[in-house]
């Protein structure tokens, strides 16, 4: 069994404005108690009410648990609801001064993060019955900042595909189309995204190896932030690979994402990948829009690279959303630069080079594969494919990643500060940061689904990504729109078998 060493440190609030009494851009005086439902609040809005004593942590938790009780039989966003410990934690927080920036805020945790004395299975046969005796560094830092952990969210088996049972039955549905399980919830962090979109959690922690923070956020109208490799500790996260796994938040908006990243980012002596890096900046300020001449504006001069034809691709509504996005950014002061991809971009980001990641996952679980391949369930073909990659293929793939990183830094970010991406895969291959957020809706006679954008940044460029998303969200309201509650007759949960089953070949084709 793969079990990292015990966590050696927990996160601390960083910087003079980030202790228990920090003020987040003056929102404390502006936020009012909603007339309808506390779960309509973003996390930073709820934090304002908690700080002012207008709402208690227990009241906020009760509102979320009520939605979980009413609707999670439909959404199936959670593997496990940690009701008793969450209620106890909220009561404890109500009796003390704020301990951190997430004080009293309910959050979901993807089921591949170690949670002390709580079942942690990565939704797999491999880790069936596993109960860790310590928290992942990320979880420990969330607890240290006052977060209330609602439960473990559904995921693809060992983080390989959309949320399924280990044998392939569909579980989690997209909150925007709960009656249609064929509408993808976005990737292996399906439960983390659905829990937030369905207002059953204020925010969630997820992981990304091949798009599973940014893609679920895109699919469900949320803000997903994948940090630079090493910015957030992987200690205590059940691995898929050692060189491409990235923990990060799925949130309602850029400010919520900044609150979570501020808490979990930083060096960890238990993960050498986090050491010797640039210091953690003030993400909260970066995600707070500035005003110029009484209008929202960008915090820093920003050049945004956009692929040729990006605004003219797709359906009429998608084209309209993308064009309005670019025109509004220009009004905010962003300089739009149409950029052809550099030479060899398509080759270096191809499926062939991306596939070398499979060898890493197979090596990690080699002993278990030798013991009983049935433990890998419906995801087995991708693990077998990893065993078939030769040593020279793997080395060529690693050289291609180095070449791609150099190409990105020297021939992309020499012309722009941030760049629109059609896919998260290139930046996942080289460990660079990404953010995704909603920019519109696509509508048909059957349903309304969110439209979004993925934007990439240079190494440790999370500040710039948050600033761009926050400025856009200051002048639009797409991030505030949420799906309607399910109708009567939507297929219920159980073991998920009534929702259909994915066959191994389809799982392998969509595997992260």
Q: What is the pLDDT of residues 218-275, one digit of tens each?
A: 999 999 999 999 999 999 999 999 999 999 999 999 999 999 999 999 999 999 999 9
Q: How many helices (H) and strands (E) are present in the chain, helices listed first?
A: 18, 13
CA dist., res. 364 & res. 447, Å (int): 41
At 430-461, the pLDDT tens digits run 999 999 999 999 877 678 899 999 999 999 99
Kind of pairing between the strands at 335-338 and 418-421: unpaired
- Where b means 16+ CB within 10 Å and e means fewer, 67-87 reads bbeebbebbbbbbbbbeeebb
| Residue that the structure tokens 């065993």 belong to | 387
Q: Is the Cβ–Cβ distance between 42 and 256 less than 8 Å? A: yes
At 288-300, the pLDDT tens digits run 989 988 889 999 9
Is 418 inside any structural domain? yes
Is 380 inside any structural domain? no
Cα atoms in the 13 Å half-sphere on the side-chain side of 352: 8
Nearest to 509 by CA among 160, 155, 126, 215: 160
**How many domains does the chain contain in total?**
1
| Residue bearing the bigger pLDDT, 371 or 2 | 371
Q: Greatest CA span in the chain, whole angstroms?
A: 67
Is pLDDT of 8 > 60?
Answer: no
- Where b means 16+ CB within 10 Å and e means fewer, 305-316 reads bbeeebbeeeee
CA torsion sign for 327, 328, 329, 333 is positive
The C-alpha angle 230, 278, 428, rounded to 5 degrees, equals 35
The pLDDT of residue 203: 98
| Alpha carbon separation from 165 to 65, 87, 159, 449, 478 (Å, rounded) | 24, 28, 12, 25, 32
Domain that holds residue 78: 27-348+398-484+492-509
DSSP state of 337: E
Q: Which of 13, 42, 58, 110 is catalytic?
A: 110
DSSP string, 127-196: TTT---SS--HHHHHHHHTT-EEEEEEP-SGGGSSSSB-TTSBB----TT-TT-TTS---STTHHHHHHH
What is the percent of the chain where pLDDT is above 90? 82
| Residue that the structure tokens 């509508």 belong to | 443
Quick one: 28 exposed, middle or buried, by C-beta within 10 A (0-12, 13-18, 19+)?
A: middle
DSSP state of 334: P
Is pLDDT of 81 > 90?
Answer: yes
| Residue bearing the bigger pLDDT, 412 or 25 | 412
Joined together, the tokens standing for residue 332 give 């905010």
The pLDDT of residue 508: 60
The pLDDT of residue 293: 85
The pLDDT of residue 9: 31
Helix segments in 35-82, DSSP class H:
43-52, 57-75
Is pLDDT of 78 > 50?
Answer: yes
The residues, ordered by sequence, that sit 6+ positions from 506 with a Cβ below 8 Å of its Cβ are none
Kind of pairing between the strands at 148-153 and 106-110: parallel
Q: How far is CA 334 from the centre of its chain?
A: 25
Is 233 inside any structural domain? yes
| Alpha carbon separation from 375 to 127, 216, 251 (Å, rounded) | 9, 26, 33
Q: How far is CA 326 from the centre of its chain?
A: 24
Joined together, the tokens standing for residue 338 give 């149409």
Q: Which of 13, 124, 145, 188 is catalytic?
A: 188
Q: Has 110 been annotated as catalytic?
A: yes
Q: Under the phi-then-psi rule, with left for phi > 0, alpha for psi from -120 to 50, and beta for the rest, what region is 158?
A: left
Supply the CATH number for residue 438's domain: 3.90.1300.10
Mean pLDDT lowest for which of 13-17, 29-33, 69-73, 206-210?
A: 13-17
Q: Is the Cβ–Cβ distance between 264 and 141 less than 8 Å? A: yes
Is 393 inside any structural domain? no
Q: Has 188 been annotated as catalytic?
A: yes
Q: Which residues are paired to 225 by β-bridges?
A: 435
Is 364 inside any structural domain? no
Quick one: 10 exposed, middle or buried, by C-beta within 10 A (0-12, 13-18, 19+)?
A: middle
Q: Has 315 been annotated as catalytic?
A: no
The pLDDT of residue 113: 98
Is 39 inside any structural domain? yes
Is 17 inside any structural domain? no
Is 324 inside any structural domain? yes
Mean pLDDT lowest for which of 189-193, 344-348, 443-447?
A: 443-447
CA torsion sign for 503, 113, 353, 455 is positive
Kind of pairing between the strands at 448-456 and 434-443: antiparallel
- Where b means 16+ CB within 10 Å and e means fewer, 147-160 reads bbbbbbbbbbbbbb
Q: Which residues are paired to 271 by β-bridges?
A: 268
Is pLDDT of 7 > 70?
Answer: no
Residue 499: band (very low, low, confident or very high) from pLDDT cuts 50, 70, 90: confident
The pLDDT of residue 494: 47
The residues, ordered by sequence, that sit 6+ positions from 509 with a Cβ below 8 Å of its Cβ are none
Q: Which of 184, 204, 212, 511 is catalytic?
A: 212
| Residue that the structure tokens 């990235």 belong to | 246
Mean pLDDT lowest for which of 152-161, 200-209, 438-447?
A: 438-447
The pLDDT of residue 512: 60
Is pLDDT of 465 > 50?
Answer: yes
């Amino acid at each position: 069994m793969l079990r990292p060493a015990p966590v050696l440190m927990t996160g601390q609030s960083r910087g003079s404005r980030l202790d228990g009494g920090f003020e987040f851009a003056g929102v404390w005086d502006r936020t009012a108690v909603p007339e309808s439902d506390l779960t309509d609040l973003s996390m930073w809005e709820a934090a304002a009410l908690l700080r002012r004593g207008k709402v208690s942590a227990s009241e906020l938790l009760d509102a979320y648990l009520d939605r979980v009780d009413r609707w999670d039989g439909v959404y199936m966003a959670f593997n496990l609801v940690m009701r008793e410990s969450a209620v106890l934690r909220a009561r404890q927080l109500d009796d003390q001064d704020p301990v951190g920036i997430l004080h009293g805020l309910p959050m979901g945790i993807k089921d591949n993060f170690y949670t002390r004395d709580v079942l942690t299975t990565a939704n797999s046969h491999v880790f069936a019955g596993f109960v860790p005796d310590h928290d992942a560094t990320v979880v420990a830092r969330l607890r240290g900042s006052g977060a209330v952990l609602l439960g473990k969210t559904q995921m693809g088996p060992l983080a390989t595909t959309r949320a399924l049972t280990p044998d392939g039955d569909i579980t989690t549905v997209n909150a925007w189309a709960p009656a249609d399980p064929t509408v993808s919830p976005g990737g292996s962090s399906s439960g983390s995204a659905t829990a937030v979109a369905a207002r059953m959690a204020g925010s969630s922690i997820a992981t990304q190896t091949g798009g599973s923070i940014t893609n679920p956020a895109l699919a469900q109208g949320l803000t997903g932030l994948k940090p630079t490799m090493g910015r957030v500790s992987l200690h205590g996260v059940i691995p898929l690979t050692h060189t491409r796994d990235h923990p990060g938040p799925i949130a309602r908006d850029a400010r919520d994402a900044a609150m979570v990243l501020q808490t979990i980012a930083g060096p960890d002596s238990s993960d050498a990948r986090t050491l010797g890096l640039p210091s953690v900046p003030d993400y909260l300020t970066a995600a707070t829009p500035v005003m110029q001449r009484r209008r929202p504006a960008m915090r820093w001069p920003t050049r945004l690279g956009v692929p040729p034809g990006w605004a003219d691709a797709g359906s009429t509504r998608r084209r309209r959303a993308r064009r309005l996005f670019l025109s509004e950014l220009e009004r905010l002061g962003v300089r739009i630069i149409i950029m052809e991809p550099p030479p060899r971009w398509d080759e270096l980001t191809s499926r062939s080079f991306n596939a070398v990641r499979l060898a890493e996952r197979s090596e990690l679980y080699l002993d278990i594969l030798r013991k009983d391949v049935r433990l890998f369930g419906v995801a087995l073909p991708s693990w077998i494919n990893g065993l078939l990659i030769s040593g020279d293929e793997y080395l060529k793939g690693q050289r291609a990643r180095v070449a791609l990183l150099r190409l990105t830094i020297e021939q992309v970010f020499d012309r722009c500060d941030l760049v629109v991406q059609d896919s998260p895969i290139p930046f996942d291959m080289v460990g660079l940061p990404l953010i995704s957020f909603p920019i519109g809706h696509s509508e048909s006679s059957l349903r309304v689904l969110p439209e979004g954008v993925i934007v990439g940044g240079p190494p440790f460029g999370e500040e710039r990504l948050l600033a761009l998303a926050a400025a856009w969200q200051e002048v639009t309201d797409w991030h505030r729109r949420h799906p309607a509650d399910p109708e009567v007759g939507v297929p219920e949960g159980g073991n998920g078998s009534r929702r259909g089953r994915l066959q191994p070949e389809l799982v392998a084709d969509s595997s992260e």
